[in-house]
C-alpha cells in the first residue's frame, strides 16, 4: 500500500487530490455519484459576505482545450452558508474548505470571521484572484500591497488553516506568493483562471455577457505548471497546484513541479469521477515506480 497522506499546515489530507472551487458545488450534489470519502478535500463554491447574483448570461463558452467562464461568484452569502449549507455539509466524510471572496478588505475579513466559527470547516481558501467581478476579486491579487492587505486582515480574525488562491494574471506570481507568506498565509493555491475573450463573428459580439472571462482546462496547464514551479521555489509554505488537470499524469506533473496537493476543476464537468480516478491513478503510478509514499514525488524535478 502506498502512503498518499499529505499535510497543508495542520490540515492532514488522506490523499493530495481535491476538487476546485466553483466546479463541484458543495459536494452534496455529487454524493450519489462519487465516493466523497476518497477525495482529499472539497473546496466549495466561492462565498462572499453578502448575497451575489453573479453576472448575466451567457457566462460560459467552450474554447480549444478549455472553457471561458464569467459566473461572477454567484452565491447566497456567508450567513446563508452558515445557517443552511453548513448543517448539510459538515458530516461529509472529507475536509470541506470554504472559498472566501470579497469586494473590500473588510468584507473579506468579516466573511472569514463567520466561517471561523464553524467547527467542521478546518480551512478557508481566500480567493484574491477572481477575474469576473467588478470590485475586489482579482484586483487584490495582482499587487503585493493588495494581497498583503487582505491576508493581513483575514489572518487577524481567522485562526485555522489559511490558503490563499493566487491569480496568474500578473507579471511575477512568486512575488505575490512571498507577500502572502509574509502576512501569515499557511499555503498558496494556484492558478485561478487566466483572463480571456472569445468573439461570435456572426453577431460581431463577445460570446460572454461581460465580454471577458476566465480561461480554464487543459489549455492553461503548461502556464500553471510553470507558475507552481516558480512559487514552490520562492516560498516555504506548501503549494497547492491546479489548472487543467485531467488525469493522474497531469497531477503528478504538478507535484513534481513542487505542489504538495492538487485540485481539479473543469475536468469535473466532463467526468465527476475524475478526482477519484486521479487519486487511484497516482497510487498505481507510485506503486509501478516502486515508491512507498507520495512524498517521494513532491518537488522531484
Ligand atoms: C465555472 C467555474 C467557476 C469557478 N468558480 C470559482 C470560484 O467561485 N472561486 C475560485 O476561487 N475559483 C473558481 N473557479 C476557478 C477554478 O477553481 C480553478 O482555479 C480554475 O478553473 C483552474 O483549474 P481547472 O483548469 O482545473 O478548471 C471557477 C472555475 C470555473 C470553470
Q: Closest Cα partner for 238 from 217, 216, 255? A: 255
* Cis peptide bond N-terminal to 58, omega within 30: yes
Q: How confident is the model at residue 131 (pLDDT cuts 50, 70, 90)?
A: confident
Report the number of distinct structural domains present in the chain: 1
What local confidence, expressed as pLDDT, does residue 1 receive? Answer: 86
Could you report the per-residue pLDDT of 248-281, keeping only the tens digit for each? 999 999 999 999 999 999 999 999 999 999 999 9
Which ligand 1 atom is the nearest neighbour of the CA of 67? 31
Residue 13 clears pLDDT 90, i.e. is over it: yes
DSSP 254: H
Q: How far is CA 134 from CA 103, 109, 143, 247, 262, in A?
A: 9, 19, 17, 34, 28
Q: Closest Cα partner for 164 from 145, 142, 141? A: 141
What local confidence, expressed as pLDDT, does residue 37 receive? Answer: 97
- Three-class SS state of 194: strand
* Cis peptide bond N-terminal to 191, omega within 30: yes
What local confidence, expressed as pLDDT, does residue 212 receive? Answer: 96
The residues that are catalytic are 130
86-95, 124-133, 152-161, 287-296: which range is least confident on average? 124-133
Cα separation of the two ends of the chain: 24
- Whether ligand 1 lies within 6 angstroms of the CB of 161 is answered as no
pTM: 0.98
Contact 94, 39 (CB under 8 A): yes
Residue 66 clears pLDDT 80, i.e. is over it: yes
Q: Which residues are paired to 52 by β-bridges?
A: 75
- Whether ligand 1 lies within 6 angstroms of the CB of 244 is answered as yes
Q: Please give the Cα distance from 281 to 158 (Å, whole number).
A: 35
Residue 129 clears pLDDT 80, i.e. is over it: yes
All cell numbers assigned to 176: 505575490
Which ligand 1 atom is the nearest neighbour of the CA of 266? 27
DSSP letter string, 7-24: EETTEEESSSEEEPTTSS
- Residue 12 is assigned to a structural domain of this protein: yes
Which ligand 1 atom is the nearest neighbour of the CA of 45? 8
- Whether ligand 1 lies within 6 angstroms of the CB of 45 is answered as yes
For 119, other C-beta atoms within 10 Å of its C-beta total: 8
Q: How confident is the model at residue 4 (pLDDT cuts 50, 70, 90)?
A: very high
Q: Mean pLDDT across the chain, nearest whole number?
A: 96
Nearest CA to ligand 1 atom 2: 22
Burial (Cβ within 10 Å: 0-12, 13-18, ≥19) of residue 227: buried
- Whether ligand 1 lies within 6 angstroms of the CB of 264 is answered as yes
- Residue 211 is assigned to a structural domain of this protein: no
- Residue 186 is assigned to a structural domain of this protein: yes
Q: Determine the distance separating the centroid of ligand 1 and the alpha carbon of 20, expressed in angstroms.
A: 6
- Residue 250 is assigned to a structural domain of this protein: yes
Could you report the per-residue pLDDT of 90-122, keeping only the tens digit for each? 999 999 999 999 999 999 999 999 999 999 999
The domain that holds 140 is classified in CATH as 3.20.20.70
All cell numbers assigned to 184: 501569515
Q: Which residues are paired to 206 by β-bridges?
A: 199
- Residue 225 is assigned to a structural domain of this protein: yes
- Residue 201 is assigned to a structural domain of this protein: no
Q: Which domain holds residue 36?
A: 6-50+75-195+216-296
For 142, other C-beta atoms within 10 Å of its C-beta total: 19
- Residue 42 is assigned to a structural domain of this protein: yes
Amino acid at each position: 500500500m502506498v502512503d498518499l497522506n499529505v499535510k497543508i499546515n495542520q490540515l492532514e489530507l488522506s490523499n493530495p487530490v481535491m476538487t476546485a472551487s466553483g466546479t463541484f458545488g458543495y459536494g452534496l450534489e455529487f454524493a450519489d455519484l462519487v465516493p466523497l470519502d476518497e477525495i482529499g478535500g472539497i473546496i466549495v463554491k466561492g462565498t462572499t459576505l453578502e448575497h451575489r447574483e453573479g453576472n448575466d448570461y451567457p457566462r460560459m463558452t467552450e474554447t480549444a482545450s478549455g472553457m471561458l467562464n464569467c459566473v461572477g461568484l454567484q452565491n447566497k452569502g456567508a450567513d446563508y452558508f452558515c445557517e443552511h449549507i453548513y448543517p448539510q455539509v459538515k458530516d461529509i466524510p472529507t475536509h470541506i474548505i470554504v472559498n472566501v471572496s470579497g469586494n473590500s478588505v473588510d468584507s473579506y475579513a468579516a466573511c472569514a470571521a463567520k466561517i471561523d466559527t464553524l467547527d467542521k470547516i478546518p480551512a478557508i481558501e481566500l480567493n484574491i484572484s477572481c477575474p469576473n467581478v467588478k470590485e475586489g476579486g482579482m484586483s487584490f491579487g495582482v499587487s503585493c500591497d493588495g494581497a498583503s492587505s487582505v491576508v493581513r486582515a483575514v489572518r487577524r480574525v481567522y485562526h485555522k488553516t489559511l490558503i490563499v488562491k493566487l491569480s496568474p494574471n500578473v507579471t511575477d506570481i512568486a512575488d505575490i506568493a512571498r507577500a502572502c507568506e509574509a502576512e501569515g498565509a499557511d499555503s498558496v493555491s494556484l492558478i485561478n483562471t487566466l483572463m480571456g475573450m472569445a468573439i461570435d463573428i456572426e453577431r460581431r459580439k463577445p460570446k460572454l455577457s461581460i465580454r471577458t472571462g476566465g480561461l480554464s482546462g487543459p489549455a492553461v496547464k503548461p502556464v500553471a505548471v510553470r507558475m507552481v514551479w516558480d512559487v514552490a521555489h520562492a516560498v516555504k509554505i506548501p503549494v497547492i497546484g491546479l489548472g487543467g488537470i485531467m488525469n493522474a499524469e497531469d497531477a503528478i506533473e504538478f507535484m513534481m513541479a513542487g505542489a504538495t496537493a492538487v485540485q481539479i476543476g473543469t475536468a469535473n464537468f466532463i467526468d465527476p469521477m475524475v478526482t477519484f480516478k486521479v487519486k487511484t491513478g497516482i497510487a498505481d503510478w507510485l506503486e509501478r515506480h516502486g515508491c512507498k509514499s507520495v512524498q517521494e514525488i513532491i518537488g522531484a524535478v
